[in-house]
Amino acid sequence: MAALRLVPVTFKVACEYVDQHHRHHTRPQGYRFAVGVLAGERLAGVAMAGRPVSRILDDGKTIEVIRVATDGTQHACSMLYGACWRAARALGYLAGVTYTQLGESGASLRAAGWRIDAELPARPGWDAPGRRRPTRDTDGIARVRWRIGVPVTVHP
């Protein structure tokens, strides 16, 4: 197994990688920073961090890991989650959040020091009469919110 090492990646590179490798999401609309992991010279995964999608968590002190995608390389996910949190702390963030689907193990998150914050029920989607949104494959799936750092907001 080739040694893993972290590298910065651009928004474009991260989005292309997510489009090719993420199990159930497409590229995000924006981000604050992204990091990649190389196995030898091959890009084995990327993580993207940005503002929390939840308005109640978007307090300016919390970062959300919005996408992590790998090619299955062992330890790449936990290395990326750890790198995102270290980078966020260096930038002054006090807390981090991310989400998994209820059936996912979260082993990489636990290995990187993240802890379960809440189990969230399935929601029908983002569509509302005054704000039309297309349905997504991830609508109607219960999720687990993970947290690292200090709790800085009140959340449901």
- Scanning the structure block, which residue is given the tokens 């928004």? 11
The verdict on residue 48 lying in a domain is yes
pLDDT digits (tens, 9 = 90+) for 130-148: 766 665 555 578 999 999 9
Asked if residue 82 is part of any domain, the answer here is yes
Residue among 49, 33, 34, 41 nearest 5 (CA): 41
State the Cα torsion 14-8-31-152 to the nearest 10°.
130
* Tokens describing residue 34: 């992204």
Mean pLDDT of 51-78: 95
Q: Is residue 72 included in any domain, yes or no?
A: yes
- Residue 68 belongs to a domain with what CATH number? 3.40.630.30
pLDDT, position 133: 60
154 within some domain: no
**What is the Cα–Cα distance from 94 to 79, expressed in whole angstroms?**
19
Confidence of residue 125 (pLDDT cuts 50, 70, 90): low
Residue 155 lies in a domain: no
Residue 156 lies in a domain: no
**Is 21 domain-assigned?**
yes
pLDDT tens digits for range 16-56: 999 999 877 777 788 999 999 999 999 999 999 999 999 99
> Total domain count for the chain?
1
Domain span including residue 63: 4-149
* pLDDT band, very low/low/confident/very high, at 107 (cuts 50, 70, 90): very high
Within a domain: 19 = yes
